[in-house]
Amino acid sequence: MDTIVELSVKETLKKVFGFDNFRGSQEEIINNIMDGNNTFVIMPTGAGKSLCYQLPAITKEGTAIVISPLIALMKNQVDQMNAFGINARFLNSTLSKSESNKVKKSTLAGETKLLYVAPESLTKEENVAFLQQANISFAAIDEAHCISEWGHDFRPEYRRIKSILAQLGDIPMIALTATATPKVQLDIQKNLDMENARLFQSSFNRDNLYYEVKPKQQAKKHLIKFIKDHRGQSGIVYCLSRKKVEEIANFLQVNDINAAPYHAGMEAKDRIKNQDAFLNEDTDVIVATIAFGMGIDKPDVRFVVHYDVPKSIEGYYQETGRAGRDSINSNCLMFYSYNDILKLEKFNKDKAVSERENAKFLLDEMASYAESSVCRRKQLLHYFGEEWPEENCNMCDNCRHPREKFDGESMALLAIEVVVETKERFDINHLGEVLAGEHSQHVKSYNHDKLEVFGKGNDHTELYWKSVIRQTLLAEFIEKDIDIPGVFKVTEKGKKFLTDPYSVEFTKDHEFEIEGHEEEFETESINTQAYDKVLFDILKALRKTVARKKGLPPYVIFSDPSMEEMATVYPMTNDDLKKIIGVGESKARKFGKDFIDLIQKYVEENDISTFSDVLIKTAGIKSKNKIFIISQIDRKIDFEEIAEGKSMTYEQLVEEVEHICFGGTKLDIDYYINQLMDDDRQGDIADYFMSAETDSLEVALDELDEDYSEDEIRLMRVKFMSEHAH
Ligand code: ADP
Ligand code: MG
């Protein structure tokens, strides 16, 4: 070890770690520690924080204590150090008495260079007594955001670190974190009593990451399309619950994507197997809860998808940060629905009041990030206390597809005024209500309906004003109160703006639907708003021609919903076509060719990237009833009896039969109809359908003579569709 002490830090870097150069400010940081100064390091994940304490630890006399919350990773880190030939050890609850005695002995003998300690072990009295006897060079507090309740990973034991370290004498400290909003940063420094520390903060900008937020509608379908567009690349899909992880992993597998699940509820051996498969590229996509990723260093993760909305921007930033560590462009996609925010709020219900409020503010920030149409990079960096110049970053959805802009001068003035008039003591919801002129209980209880600014913005909604207030924050006319969560104060810039206003550019927010579509529907019904209207019209014209040739009404060929789906997913083969709603085997065979040819030509001419490989397969959810009913009808069982066999009403059975028929299956129900009606009656209804414009039941009831019952019409419609349409 003596020889190392004489080497320069640069030489040690090469000799021990095998690296040629320091990254970013590593060298400066190391020198600062070597000089015995308190040091505070804020660097994004993957930047190389560990080296900042590892290298001085081996160079300095004595033992460095490393406090880290991740017991699970401690052993890995120690193994890694040992592999470099460094004497590192750990002290935590997983050690037996004799093992920890060994560690202590080696430390007291001055052999251990790095001693990793879990915070709960640090606070044990016997350990404090031991550390007092040891020669400690400095203490490193890794993942220091765990000190702060304002972060996303608060650990109460972290709050006691300083008082314990104080008992060990005056030892220098280095705190390291990848998440530090100004508030968390202040909290860490205060709590560790290291306000004098030299701060090293590198930019949080990850310029190779593309940020994108999509409404959570048909999310499964979009997910498959997205992953298939990145075929063969590594990616992580984050979900909030274990159940969701299982469901999505299974869903991806069914759709021929090489995916595996990962969550804390799995058996350790399965979890490790899946993680290794991902690292070794035997698995392309890992579907995981946030339990996955910490300490994992896979450089070529090409995409990170948040299938569910994350709980905080800190979390979102950390998780997206796992993409593109090799500096190659990578994608970060989040599916957003306000429902997810509401769900998360519900989870927080059982928490203590202050914790719940914190969690709520973090969620509010998340929602506002998602809904905002301001540059995502600008918002993220602002959140971490960094400024991003006005220019277009060109690497986020909002910059690539800018939304409508408006001059925000008068709006920003009102936003500042409402902050001033309410004495810089209220949160965004309250301010929005006051501006919009809501006579809510809350507003009235503060007499804020008497303020001059009350209702000055009543031509807009509270939601609109909240967006304005957020943009006023981004413009730095107001700032977050660092001590009181959610509260805004006016900045110097804002005060100047009040007296001498000027034009500022604001952007209209996205209007994500408050009621996100339930995902269960997504795989079954195609979003009909999104279909290609041009193609739909062409298909309709073709349908007419074909219908005329065959002497059938057009709706018999393909229904409108079928064609809307075709104009959404562009089926180009017979197999694709069969997956379209309302199209069965025989229908595809009978009428499909012309349509497929047309779609192929259309796709080619218009250079469309098709959705057809995205046709969703849902694993075995075909109703048992369907098979049962079809087989009963094949055996010519009376409807009443079939219904009884499944404990349904006759009505329900007819509905199911219609469902099966309109879903594309041919049903021969003559045996039953013949019992109910004679040929003439049947003929009349069939004639009607042959000449009708539509298969609508209401229209048929209207048009047909009153002595045909609804039941008869419905059954005949099934017979007619089965004979002609399938
Ligand atoms: P952080 O803790 O900041 O997330 P780590 O300390 O885990 O990051 O380092 C991330 C990766 O960068 C590690 O694989 C590490 O070996 C590597 N690394 C750190 N410093 C250097 C350097 N100067 N040159 C090359 N690689 C480095
Ligand atoms: Mg680290």
pLDDT tens, residue by residue, 441-463: 989 999 999 999 999 999 998 88
Residue 358 clears pLDDT 50, i.e. is over it: yes
Pick the last residue of a domain from 399, 425, 443: 399
CATH number at residue 413: 1.10.10.10
Pick the last residue of a domain from 550, 580, 614: 614
Question: Do 142 and 54 fall within a single domain?
Answer: yes
pTM: 0.61
In short, whether 46's Cβ falls inside 6 Å of ligand 1 is yes
Residue nearest to atom 2 of ligand 1 (CA): 49
Return the SS3 of 334.
Answer: strand
Of the candidates 170, 188, 172, the residue with the CA atom closest to the CA atom of residue 180: 188
Residue 86 clears pLDDT 80, i.e. is over it: yes
In degrees, to the nearest 5, what angle opens at C-alpha 622 toward C-alphas 663 and 306?
A: 105
CA atoms within 13 A on the CB side of 54: 19
Residue 525 domain flag: no
267/2: higher pLDDT: 267
CATH number at residue 574: 1.10.150.80
The token duo for 668 is: 């021969």
Cα separations (Å) of 419 from 441, 460, 509, 622? 19, 18, 21, 57
Question: Do 374 and 415 fall within a single domain?
Answer: no
* DSSP state, residue 510: P
499/203: higher pLDDT: 499
- Indicate the pLDDT class of residue 611, thresholds 50, 70 and 90: low
Residue 514 domain flag: no
Residue 132's pLDDT is 95
Residue 1 clears pLDDT 80, i.e. is over it: no
Question: Do 218 and 330 fall within a single domain?
Answer: yes
Output the CA 183–ligand 2 centroid distance in Å: 21
Contacts of 121 (CB under 8 A, 6+ apart): 91, 92, 93, 127
Pairwise CA distance, residues 660 & 585, whole Å: 13
Question: Do 556 and 594 fall within a single domain?
Answer: yes
Question: Do 47 and 136 fall within a single domain?
Answer: yes
Residue 137's pLDDT is 97
* Residue the block writes with tokens 């290291």: 194
Q: Are residues 329 and 278 in contact, defined by beta-carbon separation less than 8 angstroms?
A: no
Over its C-alpha atoms, the chain yields an Rg (Å, rounded) of: 33
- Indicate the pLDDT class of residue 612, thresholds 50, 70 and 90: very low
Residue 2 clears pLDDT 60, i.e. is over it: no
Residue 194's pLDDT is 92
Residue 613 clears pLDDT 70, i.e. is over it: no
Residue 72's pLDDT is 67
Contacts of 188 (CB under 8 A, 6+ apart): 40, 144, 145, 147, 148, 175, 177, 180
- pLDDT mean over 559-575: 84
CATH number at residue 631: 1.10.10.1390
Question: Do 197 and 219 fall within a single domain?
Answer: no
Output the CA 51–ligand 2 centroid distance in Å: 9
Convert the pLDDT of each residue in 477-494 to its tens digit.
999 887 777 889 999 999
Output the CA 65–ligand 2 centroid distance in Å: 15
Q: From the alpha carbon of 17, which atom of ligand 1 is closest?
A: 16
Residue 459 domain flag: yes
CA atoms within 13 A on the CB side of 660: 25
Taking the alpha carbons at both ends of the chain, their separation in whole angstroms is 84
Pairwise CA distance, residues 593 & 583, whole Å: 13
What H or E segment, with its residue span, contains residue 533? helix 533-550
Residue 158 clears pLDDT 70, i.e. is over it: yes
Q: Are residues 389 and 474 in contact, defined by beta-carbon separation less than 8 angstroms?
A: no
Residue nearest to atom 19 of ligand 1 (CA): 48
Strand partners, 505: 407
Q: Could you tell me the residue range of the domain that residue 309 belongs to? A: 209-399
* Residue the block writes with tokens 């003998």: 109
Residue 423's pLDDT is 95
Question: Do 351 and 433 fall within a single domain?
Answer: no
Question: Do 245 and 311 fall within a single domain?
Answer: yes
Residue 177's pLDDT is 92
Q: Which of 50, 179, 204, 296 to mutate to test the pocket of ligand 1 (most atoms within 8 A of CB)?
A: 50
Contacts of 703 (CB under 8 A, 6+ apart): 688, 692
- Indicate the pLDDT class of residue 356, thresholds 50, 70 and 90: confident
Of the candidates 301, 264, 263, 296, the residue with the CA atom closest to the CA atom of residue 285: 301
Pairwise CA distance, residues 35 & 26, whole Å: 14
Question: Do 705 and 591 fall within a single domain?
Answer: no
CA atoms within 13 A on the CB side of 256: 9
Residue 530's pLDDT is 57
* Residue the block writes with tokens 């339990």: 291
What H or E segment, with its residue span, contains residue 480? strand 478-480
Of the candidates 125, 129, 81, the residue with the CA atom closest to the CA atom of residue 108: 129
Of the candidates 595, 594, 601, 605, the residue with the CA atom closest to the CA atom of residue 565: 595
Q: Are residues 323 and 273 in contact, defined by beta-carbon separation less than 8 angstroms?
A: no
* DSSP state, residue 196: T
Helix axes 26-34, 50-59, angle to 10 degrees: 40
Helix axes 462-474, 376-383, angle to 10 degrees: 70
Residue nearest to atom 13 of ligand 1 (CA): 48
- Indicate the pLDDT class of residue 3, thresholds 50, 70 and 90: very low
Contacts of 11 (CB under 8 A, 6+ apart): none
- Amino acid of residue 657: V
Q: How far is CA 107 from the centre of its chain?
A: 45
The arrangement of strands across the sheet holding 259-262 comes to 209-215, 330-336, 301-306, 234-238, 285-288, 259-262
Pairwise CA distance, residues 659 & 635, whole Å: 19
Residue 526 domain flag: no
Question: Do 319 and 241 fall within a single domain?
Answer: yes
Neighbours of 292 (CB within 10 A): 22
| Ligand (nearest to CA of 83) | 1
Residue 458 domain flag: yes
Neighbours of 438 (CB within 10 A): 20
Cα separations (Å) of 305 from 238, 389, 711? 6, 27, 49
CATH number at residue 110: 3.40.50.300
Question: Do 186 and 139 fall within a single domain?
Answer: yes
The token duo for 144 is: 């220091």
Residue nearest to atom 23 of ligand 1 (CA): 22
In short, whether 48's Cβ falls inside 6 Å of ligand 1 is yes
Least confident span in 253-267, 510-524, 692-706: 510-524
In short, whether 77's Cβ falls inside 6 Å of ligand 1 is no
556/668: higher pLDDT: 668
Question: Do 196 and 294 fall within a single domain?
Answer: no
Q: Are residues 237 and 272 in contact, defined by beta-carbon separation less than 8 angstroms?
A: no
Pairwise CA distance, residues 323 & 667, whole Å: 52
Pairing of strands 234-238, 209-215: unpaired
Contacts of 604 (CB under 8 A, 6+ apart): none
Pairing of strands 114-117, 63-67: parallel
- Indicate the pLDDT class of residue 634, thresholds 50, 70 and 90: confident
Quote the percentage of the chain above a pLDDT of 90: 43
- pLDDT mean over 549-576: 84
The chain-wide mean pLDDT, for the chain, equals: 86
- pLDDT mean over 310-323: 91
Residue 599's pLDDT is 92
Quote the percentage of the chain above a pLDDT of 70: 93
569/121: higher pLDDT: 121
Domain count, the chain: 5
- pLDDT mean over 70-76: 74
Residue 722 clears pLDDT 70, i.e. is over it: yes
Residue 302 domain flag: yes
Neighbours of 34 (CB within 10 A): 16
Q: From the alpha carbon of 20, which atom of ligand 1 is closest?
A: 24
CA atoms within 13 A on the CB side of 585: 3
What CA dihedral angle connects 332, 336, 341 and 344, to 10 degrees? -50
Cα separations (Å) of 451 from 154, 418, 488, 668? 39, 9, 18, 74
Residue 156 clears pLDDT 60, i.e. is over it: yes
Q: Which of 19, 68, 86, 322 to mutate to test the pocket of ligand 1 (most atoms within 8 A of CB)?
A: 19
Residue 521 clears pLDDT 80, i.e. is over it: no
Residue 508 domain flag: no
Residue 368's pLDDT is 86
- pLDDT mean over 96-105: 94
Pick the last residue of a domain from 353, 371, 399: 399
The token duo for 149 is: 């309740």
Residue 604 domain flag: yes
Residue 389's pLDDT is 80
Residue 516's pLDDT is 38
Residue nearest to atom 25 of ligand 1 (CA): 19
Least confident span in 154-168, 188-202, 235-249, 571-585: 571-585
Output the CA 234–ligand 2 centroid distance in Å: 22
In short, whether 14's Cβ falls inside 6 Å of ligand 1 is no
Residue 524 clears pLDDT 70, i.e. is over it: no
Convert the pLDDT of each residue in 568-581 to its tens digit.
788 888 888 887 87
Convert the pLDDT of each residue in 16-41 to its tens digit.
888 888 988 999 999 999 999 999 99
